[in-house]
């Protein structure tokens, strides 16, 4: 009975893992990269310097708007956090006639500022690290809602695979430190087990909280039973600041200093992350600020509304237990609260999860290859899995390299430039599948791994030639974020080169005629 139970769990583990493994690999790796989304964006916008103080960046944004758009009817300031760079400012110009409705032109009424000088800069049009963040749960080239359903279903499979994996593994403590190299299938299983067990708390947490982030979409019945519509639910669960509508008399454009002093005192020094000023050139001006999400684990940021003098006219009341639980779970998942040390731990655990999925996928083929090799017939299913494995495990990182390269090579005046960069990502990834399908398996692994190594090594070089920044200037100027990314890219190149060498050595060593090599082994 017990053996039968474990066997059925093993079956479930194998097939839930395989069926969605490729999507999960992409979801895990993009999510892992998204832990450094602000840093990647900073690297991808070499025109800006790094934000030293988020509050100061808001003040700089306010000052710029005060000077350049004093007559606007609305200002918005989106500073980067201290991990990122440029400040984005938006404004709504006054309507042509007093009775007309003010309209904002999304292409024209926007500017980017350097967070430290407050000067307007021309940053390149890129999604930066936000692309990986979006890809992680929205996918791409499809309606968001589809992407979220696909990722949600895959997350459920992941959860099943984790739980069944624990049952199947059995020797979690005995095999805790066991990792044997160069033993074929045994080594892949060891590696799969070790990365799975070591980061197990992370895997369980990240899969469960990932599901929770979109729980109300996947399970809408609780809301449907208690509220007339979604709007009522959102109003009740996440009260939004109310903006008074009464108009006063014209006044000089608002100075944010008073409002910033108020939040500085109320939020124990936590910075605002998004600031909107309604009617800045009126005595009735209202300032709304959301607190940066790095201030607490809870992802639901505090909000506050102030008048011209910086006096509070609305503040978020205490949160209910359920909303707070939800907010903490989402916060735990996204890790926005994490400082640099904890962020690296998140990143490494994420890489562990990615490796767990990758080794699991490879293990599936290694297991079956031995069986089929005995029969010496080509197996369509095995070949399909092999191609998908190669195209995903090496192809996705190759796409990441292409995305970084595109960021430096796509001309700055390209229309829809950000989307063009993303096109490079999917082109490189897609071509990897075709390439893997056209080449015999070991060659495809080797050649794609070598290509990935070359591509990652090329990025810091390309960057040095196409921008004023390179690894040495970054280090010299104390720009550690960009220097670390250059280092990480080079380290990734070394890792892929190492993997390529391993594959090459293995396929050279693999006997082309198994029988003869066995004879040789016996005679020696």
Q: Which residues bind another protein (CB under 8 A)?
A: 174, 176-179, 181, 194, 198-199, 201-202, 297, 332, 337, 341-342, 345-346, 348-349, 352
Residues 477 and 143: their CA atoms lie apart, in Å, by 43
Largest CA distance in the chain: 101
**Minimum separation from the CB atom of position 174 to another protein (A):** 8
Structure tokens at 8: 């059925």
Which of these, 2, 26, 4, lies nearest to 353 by C-alpha position? 26
**Minimum separation from the CB atom of position 320 to another protein (A):** 19
DSSP class of 46: T
Nearer to another protein, 30 or 193 (CB): 193
Nearer to another protein, 204 or 223 (CB): 204
Stated as kind and residue range, the H or E segment containing 399 is helix 395-409
Q: Which residues contact 136 (CB under 8 A, 6 or more apart)?
A: 27, 30, 31, 34, 151
Distances (CA, A) of 417 to 134, 178, 406, 424, 460: 17, 48, 10, 11, 21
Structure tokens at 251: 């006044």
**Minimum separation from the CB atom of position 349 to another protein (A):** 6
Residues 360 and 461: their CA atoms lie apart, in Å, by 34
Nearer to another protein, 34 or 277 (CB): 34
**Minimum separation from the CB atom of position 341 to another protein (A):** 4
Stated as kind and residue range, the H or E segment containing 272 is strand 272-278
Chain centre distance of CA 262: 33
**Minimum separation from the CB atom of position 343 to another protein (A):** 10
Distances (CA, A) of 203 to 25, 67, 170, 212, 456: 13, 50, 18, 14, 28
- 3-class SS of residue 36: coil
**Minimum separation from the CB atom of position 116 to another protein (A):** 28
Distances (CA, A) of 466 to 98, 410, 473, 486: 48, 11, 14, 14
**Minimum separation from the CB atom of position 482 to another protein (A):** 23
DSSP letters spanning 161-176? HHHHHHHHH--TTTTT
**Minimum separation from the CB atom of position 199 to another protein (A):** 5
Nearer to another protein, 202 or 234 (CB): 202
Nearer to another protein, 35 or 435 (CB): 35
**Minimum separation from the CB atom of position 335 to another protein (A):** 9
Which of these, 264, 318, 261, 329, lies nearest to 291 by C-alpha position? 264
Distances (CA, A) of 467 to 36, 362, 451: 21, 39, 24
Nearer to another protein, 209 or 389 (CB): 209
DSSP class of 250: B
**Minimum separation from the CB atom of position 327 to another protein (A):** 13
Nearer to another protein, 135 or 191 (CB): 191
Residues 452 and 398: their CA atoms lie apart, in Å, by 5
Distances (CA, A) of 503 to 393, 438, 442, 499: 14, 18, 7, 6
Residues 202 and 354: their CA atoms lie apart, in Å, by 12
**Minimum separation from the CB atom of position 154 to another protein (A):** 23
Nearer to another protein, 109 or 190 (CB): 190
**Minimum separation from the CB atom of position 128 to another protein (A):** 25
Nearer to another protein, 178 or 520 (CB): 178
Distances (CA, A) of 129 to 6, 83, 303, 307: 42, 12, 25, 35
Chain centre distance of CA 253: 38
- Given a contact cutoff of 8 angstroms between Cβ atoms, the answer to whether 240 and 357 are in contact is no
Nearer to another protein, 157 or 337 (CB): 337
**Minimum separation from the CB atom of position 347 to another protein (A):** 10
**Minimum separation from the CB atom of position 60 to another protein (A):** 30
DSSP letters spanning 451-470? HHHHHHHHHHHHHHHHSS--
Nearer to another protein, 67 or 178 (CB): 178
Nearer to another protein, 97 or 174 (CB): 174
Nearer to another protein, 41 or 207 (CB): 207
Which of these, 295, 290, 294, lies nearest to 306 by C-alpha position? 290
Nearer to another protein, 130 or 348 (CB): 348
């Amino acid at each position: 009975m017990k053996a039968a139970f474990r066997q059925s769990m093993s079956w479930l583990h194998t097939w839930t893992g395989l069926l969605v493994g490729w999507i999960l690999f992409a979801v895990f790796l993009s999510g892992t990269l998204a832990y450094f989304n602000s840093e990647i964006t900073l690297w991808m916008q070499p025109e800006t310097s790094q934000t030293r103080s988020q509050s100061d960046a808001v003040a700089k944004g306010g000052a710029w708007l005060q000077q350049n758009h004093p007559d606007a009817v609305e200002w918005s300031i989106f500073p980067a956090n201290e991990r990122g760079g440029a400040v984005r400012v938006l404004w709504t110009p006054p309507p042509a006639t007093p009775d007309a409705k003010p309209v904002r032109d999304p292409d024209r009424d926007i500017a980017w500022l350097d967070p430290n000088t407050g000067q307007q800069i021309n940053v390149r049009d890129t999604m930066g690290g936000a692309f990986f963040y979006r890809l992680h749960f929205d996918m791409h080239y499809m309606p968001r809602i589809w992407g979220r359903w696909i990722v949600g279903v895959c997350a459920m499979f992941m959860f099943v695979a984790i739980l069944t994996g624990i049952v199947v593994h059995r020797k979690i403590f005995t095999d805790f430190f066991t990792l044997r190299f160069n033993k074929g299938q045994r080594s892949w299983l060891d590696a799969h087990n070790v990365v799975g067990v070591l980061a197990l708390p992370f895997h369980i947490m990240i899969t469960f909280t990932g599901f929770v982030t979109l729980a109300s979409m996947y399970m809408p019945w609780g809301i449907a039973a208690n509220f007339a519509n979604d709007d009522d639910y959102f109003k009740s669960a996440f009260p939004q600041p109310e903006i008074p509508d009464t108009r006063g008399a014209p006044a000089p454009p608002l100075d944010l200093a008073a409002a910033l002093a108020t939040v500085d005192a109320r939020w124990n020094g936590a910075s605002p992350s998004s600031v909107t000023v309604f009617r800045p050139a009126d005595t009735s001006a209202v300032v709304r600020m959301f607190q940066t999400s790095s201030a607490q684990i809870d992802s639901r940021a505090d909000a506050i509304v102030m008048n011209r003098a910086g006096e509070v006219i609305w503040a978020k009341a205490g949160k209910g237990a359920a909303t707070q639980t939800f907010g903490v779970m989402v916060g735990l998942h996204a890790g926005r609260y994490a400082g640099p040390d904890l962020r690296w731990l998140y990143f490494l655990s994420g890489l562990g999860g990615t490796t767990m999925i990758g080794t699991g996928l490879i293990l599936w083929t290694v297991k079956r290859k031995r069986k089929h090799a005995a029969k010496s017939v080509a197996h369509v299913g095995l070949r399909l899995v092999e191609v998908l494995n190669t195209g995903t495990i090496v192809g996705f990182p190759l796409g990441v390299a292409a995305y970084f390269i595109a960021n430096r090579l796509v001309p700055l005046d390209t229309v829809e430039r950000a989307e063009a960069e993303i096109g490079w990502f999917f082109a490189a990834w897609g071509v990897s599948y075709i390439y893997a399908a056209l080449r015999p398996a070991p060659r495809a692994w080797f050649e794609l791994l070598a290509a990935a190594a070359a591509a990652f090594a090329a990025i810091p070089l390309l960057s040095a030639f196409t921008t004023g920044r390179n690894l040495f200037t970054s280090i010299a100027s104390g720009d550690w974020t960009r220097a670390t990314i250059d280092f990480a890219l080079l380290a990734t190149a070394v890792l892929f080169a190492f993997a390529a060498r391993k594959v090459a050595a293995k396929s050279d060593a693999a006997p082309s005629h198994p029988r003869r090599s066995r004879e040789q082994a016996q005679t020696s």
